[in-house]
Amino acid sequence: MHVASTALILLFITALCAPLSRVIRLPPPLLQIGLGIGANMLGLQVRLDPAVFMLLFVPPLLFSDAFLMPMREFRQLHGVILGLAIGLVLFATLGCGLFVHWLIPAVPLAACFALAAVLSPTDPVAVGSMLEGRNVPQRFQHILSGEALLNDASGLVCFKFAAAAAMTGSFSILQATGSFVLVSAGGLATGAALALALATFERWLLARGFDHAPTFVSLSALLPFAAYLAAEHLETSGILAAVAAGLTVRRGRVYGLMRTETRLGATATWEMLTFTFNGMIFVLLGLQLPRIVAGGIALMHRVQVPVWHLPLAMVEVTLVLVLLRLIWVHGTVLVRGLLQRGKAGAVSERGAGKASARLILAMAVAGVRGAITLAAVLSLQEDFPARALLVTLAAGVILCSLLLATTTLPALLRGIEKNSVDHVAVETDRARLALARTAAAHVEAEASQADREHRQVLETLLEEMRAKEQRLHIALEDGPEEDRADKISALHRQRLEAALRLRMLRAERDSLADMNRDGTISDDVERLLMRELDHQEEVVLASARSLPRELAKTASREGARAGSGRRAKATG
């Protein structure tokens, strides 16, 4: 099959997974793997080149995750995250490597450490998919996301040295430590330097009036690939280079200086890239599984070992990794508790203790493995000791960890979800109130210095700002019951106004489409006016979201209803 046809089929399967996952209620990674296996059985064959896979898929996804990483929470939790990303990786590599060598003595110890090292890092794509749509505590989600973002570098560095030791028979702890520091620091420096250079160039263009959305979006999409390739060429960590580039672009805030059209274009582009690449990673993983499993079964026949030993070994290695992770997480919690006991002497309630125990167990189970593990283990040379067995075990552990997380996480997080507080929503409402007060103060300052005609316009704006400020104030603070009843009635009127505006925009769109069909206006005029209506709808929806959450949901439903009517009209 031609490579273009294969790529189109993969894109179709990836796009199909989103609606299917809602119908079947199965996590997207498992569904994508299943569809990949089915496509393989129907004759779709894709030979996965690990080097090409790492270049095409890993840098943009890590760049996007780093760009979206909440920096304040990362700074607050950096000790825990770094402990998991570095300490746990080393602990899991040592413990799991010794277990695999005890389980299969015929495999050299260095090769066992190589397998354990490639299994030690969690996968950011799989972790994000498992937590998507769940109201998990923010601290829990930030720790898992930060760990998955950083532990690939430490795991792959350990894998590199263990694989070299298995091939050469020599290993130096001092050399490995020094190389780890050099590889990590070099990757971070390379990614940050390239991102700073691009940010400087973009600021130079903006200072000269050049604000072309396609150019800036293309440059941002190419940055993670450039950072990865440059770091790999310098024999440093390309993964950390992509992460550093994303963090540096986030800190530079160049997009805040660009036009709204540029920012919207960049957001839409990255949403499409992350959705497509996330799905294709697991579809490709499913496509490889039948061939990998067949190779593992053939190997078991050659060495005259019962085939059922292979899935048993996969389950055992998965459980050992979960156990090692549980020991590390629980030990970290105990150490932090001992250090903080002098500061906080309060004894936790029994229910909180149970929730804490569930959270620790959920943290251990949520460390799922993914496609980066498979790509790394497939990069082993053909003459590597027990390569076929290691590849089969790695693929089986990936699948087992996904199944374990899928079946146990909902039960483990159910009690925690009920007790979790939506701190983000409260903080968002407070920030909106502060922004409304800032805008009102700015309008007041301009009104005091404006002429009569200008002042009338500013007074109209000031009334709108004051109404918005009062509306947001109600969402945060309760007043007397009789006053609050009047205010809530006013809020309902505002919700009704937002819904009516959305229906009015829907009617305008229908009329615009009719004029285009009748030939009254050209396609260019229709696109221009349609874009104006889209921006107006965004303004109405943004205003609706500033209402208290219950009312905002009602207005948003009206918007969705307007959108569905628009789509039905277009279909008809």
Structure confidence at residue 446 as a pLDDT band (50, 70, 90):
confident
Q: What is the structure's pLDDT at 525?
A: 82
Task: Give the DSSP letter of residue 169.
Answer: S
* pLDDT, greater one: 156 or 328: 328
Q: What is the pLDDT of residues 490-512, one digit of tens each?
A: 556 667 777 777 788 788 888 88
Q: What is the structure's pLDDT at 383?
A: 80
From 400, 421, 442, give the residue that closes a domain: 421
From 394, 421, 448, give the residue that closes a domain: 421
Residues 441 and 402 in one domain: no
Residues 227 and 286 in one domain: yes
* pLDDT, greater one: 311 or 299: 311
Buried b (16+ CB within 10 A) or exposed e, 323-346: ebbbebbeebbeeeeeeeeeeeee
Determine the average pLDDT of the residues in 30-36: 86
Chain-wide mean pLDDT for the chain? 78
Q: What is the structure's pLDDT at 348?
A: 43
Q: What is the structure's pLDDT at 375?
A: 78
Distances (CA, A) of 30 to 240, 380, 417: 27, 26, 23
Residues 472 and 403 in one domain: no
* pLDDT, greater one: 271 or 153: 271
Q: What percent of the chain has pLDDT over 90?
A: 11
Q: Is residue 145 part of a domain?
A: yes
**Secondary element (H or E) of residue 223:** helix 213-233
Residue 458 and residue 440: Cα distance in Å, rounded? 10
Q: What is the pLDDT of residues 1-16, one digit of tens each?
A: 677 888 888 889 888 8
Does residue 88 register a pLDDT over 70? yes
Does residue 558 register a pLDDT over 90? no
Q: Is residue 489 part of a domain?
A: no
The parent domain of residue 433 ranges over 422-477
Taking the model in full, what pTM does it have? 0.74
Residue 330 makes CB contacts below 8 A (sequence gap 6+) with: 360
CB count within 10 Å of CB 175 equals 11
Determine the average pLDDT of the residues in 404-412: 83
Residues 458 and 374 in one domain: no
Q: What is the structure's pLDDT at 410?
A: 79
Residue 370 makes CB contacts below 8 A (sequence gap 6+) with: 29, 122, 123, 124, 125, 126, 281, 282, 285, 398
Q: What is the structure's pLDDT at 324?
A: 94
Q: What is the structure's pLDDT at 354?
A: 44
Residues 383 and 432 in one domain: no
Q: Is residue 483 part of a domain?
A: no
Q: What is the structure's pLDDT at 317?
A: 94
Residue 107 and residue 17: Cα distance in Å, rounded? 38
Q: What is the structure's pLDDT at 171?
A: 64
Residue 520 and residue 529: Cα distance in Å, rounded? 14
Residues 526 and 445 in one domain: no
Question: Which candidate, 263, 367, 285, 266, places its Cα nearest to that of 60?
Answer: 266
Determine the average pLDDT of the residues in 266-282: 83
Structure confidence at residue 288 as a pLDDT band (50, 70, 90):
confident
Residues 439 and 392 in one domain: no
Q: Is residue 401 part of a domain?
A: yes
From 421, 438, 460, give the residue that closes a domain: 421
Q: Is residue 482 part of a domain?
A: no
Residue 53 and residue 36: Cα distance in Å, rounded? 16
Residue 254 and residue 209: Cα distance in Å, rounded? 14
Residue 364 and residue 323: Cα distance in Å, rounded? 8
Q: Is residue 356 part of a domain?
A: yes
Q: What percent of the chain has pLDDT over 70?
A: 79
Q: What is the structure's pLDDT at 325?
A: 93
The three state secondary structure string of 2-35 is: CHHHHHHHHHHHHHHHHHHHHHHCCCHHHHHHHH
Residues 22 and 151 in one domain: yes
Q: What is the pLDDT of residues 225-247, one digit of tens each?
A: 999 999 999 988 888 899 899 88
* pLDDT, greater one: 348 or 255: 255
* pLDDT, greater one: 491 or 274: 274
Q: What is the pLDDT of residues 323-350, one digit of tens each?
A: 999 999 988 888 877 777 756 544 444 4
Does residue 320 register a pLDDT over 90? yes
Q: What is the CATH number of the domain that holds 319?
A: 1.20.1530.20
Q: What is the structure's pLDDT at 107?
A: 85
Residue 415 makes CB contacts below 8 A (sequence gap 6+) with: 354, 355, 358
Q: What is the structure's pLDDT at 419?
A: 46
The number of domains in the chain is: 3
Q: What is the structure's pLDDT at 493?
A: 67
Q: Is residue 485 part of a domain?
A: no
Q: What is the pLDDT of residues 61-74, one digit of tens each?
A: 888 878 877 777 78
Q: What is the structure's pLDDT at 421?
A: 47
Residues 387 and 451 in one domain: no
Token pair, residue 27, equals 């996590």
Residues 377 and 434 in one domain: no
Residues 459 and 368 in one domain: no
Task: Give the DSSP letter of residue 452.
Answer: H
Residue 500 makes CB contacts below 8 A (sequence gap 6+) with: none
Q: What is the structure's pLDDT at 417?
A: 52
Q: What is the structure's pLDDT at 91?
A: 92
Q: What is the pLDDT of residues 106-143, one digit of tens each?
A: 888 888 999 999 898 887 666 666 666 666 777 787 88
Residues 42 and 88 in one domain: yes
Determine the average pLDDT of the residues in 555-561: 50
Structure confidence at residue 552 as a pLDDT band (50, 70, 90):
very low
